[in-house]
Amino acid sequence: MDHTDQLYKLWGEIYPAQSTDKLGKFLESLKREEPTKDFPAISDWYKDAVVYALYVDLFNNDFSGLIDKLDYLQELGINCLWLLPILDSPMRDAGFDIRNYDRIRSGLLGLTDDSSMEDRQEVFGHFLNEAHNRGIRVVFDIAINHCSDEHPWFIEARKSEDNPYRDYFIWSKDIRLYGDARLLFKGIEESNWEPAGDGWNYFHRFFSFQPDLNYRNQQVLLEMAANLLYWQKMGVDGFRADAIPYLWKVEGTDCENLDTTHAIVKFFRTILDYVKPGSLLLAEACQRPRKVVRYMGDGDECHAAYHFPLMPMMFKAIAAASNEPIINTLSPKVTPEIPENAQWFTFLRVHDELSLELVYVSEEDRKFIHENYCHKPEWNFRVGEGVSARLSELMKKDVNKIGLAYSLMLTLTGTPVVYYGDEFGKLNDEKYYAEQIKLTGKDDTRFLVRGRIDWQKLDRELKNEDGFHARVFSMITSMLNARKSMKVFGRGTTEFFDTQESVLAYLRKTIDEEAFVVNNLSVKEQVINNPFPDRNMIILHAEGLTVDDGNDTLKLDPHGFAWFGVL
C-alpha cells in the first residue's frame, strides 16, 4: 500500500463515515511544495546514535552559543542532539506549553519578538547546517496532545461557544466526563478539568494552563501534521512526540493507548514518510513495555520509544547489588520483541524525575528505589512516584557508581540518551528551582534537575584532574567514544551469562561484531571466569579491572566494569 492509500485508510479509521475532502485538499497542497533538504536519507540512522539532550538556553544561552559548543559535543562522542522544547512558549512548563508551533522562541535565536519568519528561519537553518556539517543530527520536542492557554487557537476558543476554534479543544459543563482518566500530576493538580466561566470547563491531562487538543476535529489533525512537515522541510531530523498515549478520549475508558490514538500516530508517521522518509518519530509513552511496543506498530508507527521500565531497574540493580531486575525487565515476558526497523531509547536521567509510576514498577520496587535514592525530602515528586535529582546527586557523587550506571545504559539494549551536564557530574540547581517556582507558581521539583551550565566555572574545574567533575568527564568521554567504535551496541542481540547475582555479564552480538560486557553491581570485589579463553578479547573500556591470564579470570573492583571486543 502506498503512502496516499495508507493516509486515506487511516483517515477512515479516525473519522469513520466522514468526508475525506479536507485530506484530499491537504495532500494536493503538499504536491506544490518544494522538496525537503536531505541529510543524508538513511532510514535507520537512529540505531547508531548517541543522543545528547539539552535545553538550548540553559546549555549555552542561545543557538549561537550552542554552535560554539558543537565541537565540544562532537569530541564528547555525540552524533545526535535532542533539543528540549524550543518552540514559542510562555515557559510555564519549560516550553512544553507551546504558544506557536511554527516558530522558535525569539531569545533562543538571538532575535526580538517582532522578527520576521525569514530571519528566524535563517538563524535556525544556520544552526542545522553547522550541526549537520559535523555529522550531528537534530531532533526536538513537540507536544501534540496539548498546547499553552496562550496559543492563538485557545485565546479564540474561550471567547465564545460559537467561535470557529472552540472545537479545537474539549469542553464540558459536567466534569464527571472522562472520570476514569487518572490524574497524571497528582499532588500538583486537583482535577483534569479547569473552570473557564459560564459553567464551562476545559479538559487537560497535564498542567491546567495546557488545554488538551481535540483530535475529533479533523482540522486539528491536519494542523498538527502541517506543523511537523514545516520543521521537516527546514531540515530537522526528527521529533520526540510528547505525551502521545493521551491523544484520543472516550468516555468509560482511562483515555490512554486507545486504538484511535495509534491511528493518529500512524497518520503522522505516514505523512512524514510521504514527504521525506527517514525523519525520526520517537514515542514518549510512560507505559509498560507491552503497551509501548504498540507505538511502534508493525514498523509503521513510531520508529523508536523510550524503555521507561529499564531506567529504574538499573538504579535498583545497583542499590540491591543484583542482576535480576535488569535480566527480568529485558526478558521476553516483560519486554516483547519490536519490529526490525524499530529501536528502544535508554536513559539514566532526563529533564524529568527518576520516575516510579506504578504503570511500570511495583509498589515494592517503588518503595525500595525511593528509599535508596531520595536522599533529601525536597527531592520527592508526585507523592513518592518519583525522585527529582541529578544522577550525581542520586549516586552521592560516587564516581565509580556513576561510571557503573553509564556502563549499563551505554551497553544494554538500544540507543543511549545523555542528559546535558551528566557527562561532568552536574549537580542539582537549587537557585534555578527557586526561580522557576516564582515564575510558574508551581512547586515542581523537576526544576532541580535542570539549570544552567557555567562554562567558565566548569573550565576551571575540568583543569583539576583529581576533582570530581574532571574525573567524571574524562571517564564518560572515554566511554561514549568507545561505544561509538562498535555498532553492535546499538544493533546487537543481548545474551546474559549465568554468574553470581552481583555480577551482570552479557554478550552483544550481530553477524559482524561481538562485544562482551561485565559489571560488578556490588561494593565487594568480584571474580568471574573468562567466558572466551580461546578467543582474542580487546579492551574497549574498563574501570577497576584486573585480568589474570594464568587462571583465565577477570577480577572487578567494587562497582568496576569492563567492555571487550571479542574477535
Q: Are 346 and 415 in contact (CB under 8 A)?
A: yes
Residue 457, C-beta contacts closer than 8 angstroms, at least 6 positions apart: none
For residue 340, indicate whether it is catalytic. Answer: no
How high is the pLDDT of residue 357?
Answer: 84
Q: Are 112 and 123 in contact (CB under 8 A)?
A: no
Matching residue, cell 496559543: 151
Rounded to an integer, what distance in angstroms lies between the CA atom of residue 93 and that of residue 436? Answer: 9
If you compute the radius of gyration of the chain from its CA atoms, what whole number of angstroms results?
Answer: 24
| DSSP classification of residue 189 | B
Residues in the chain: 567
How high is the pLDDT of residue 32?
Answer: 64
3-state secondary structure of 540: strand
Rounded to an integer, what distance in angstroms lies between the CA atom of residue 294 and that of residue 305? Answer: 10
Phi, psi of 335 (to 5 degrees): -110, 100
The one catalytic residue among 97, 194, 237, 242: 242
pLDDT-flagged residues of the chain (< 50): none
Q: Where are the alpha helices (DSSP H) in 423-524?
A: 430-440, 455-463, 468-484, 488-491
User: CATH for 309-417+428-471?
Assistant: 3.20.20.80
What grid cell was written down for 466? 583529581
Rounded to an integer, what distance in angstroms lies between the CA atom of residue 482 and that of residue 495? Answer: 20
Q: Where are the alpha helices (DSSP H) in 15-103?
A: 21-30, 56-60, 63-68, 70-76
How high is the pLDDT of residue 285?
Answer: 84
For residue 161, indicate whether it is catalytic. Answer: no
Delimit the domains of the chain by residue range: 309-417+428-471, 492-566
In this predicted model, what pLDDT tens digit does every residue of 400-442 receive, in sequence order? 999 999 999 999 999 999 999 999 999 999 999 999 888 878 7
* DSSP characters over 428-449: P-HHHHHHHHHHHS---GGGGG
Q: Judge whether 309-417+428-471 and 492-566 match in fold.
A: no
The one catalytic residue among 88, 149, 284, 543: 284
Residues 390-394: contacts with CB within 8 Å, 24+ apart?
390/349, 390/421, 390/422, 390/426, 390/427, 390/428, 390/448, 390/449, 391/348, 391/349, 391/419, 391/422, 391/425, 392/422, 392/425, 392/426, 392/427, 392/468, 392/472, 393/427, 393/428, 394/315, 394/349, 394/354
Q: CATH number of the domain at 492-566, out of 2.60.40.1180, 2.40.128.520, 2.30.30.30, 2.40.30.30?
A: 2.60.40.1180
Q: Are 123 and 106 in contact (CB under 8 A)?
A: no
Rounded (5°) CA angle 98-101-102: 145
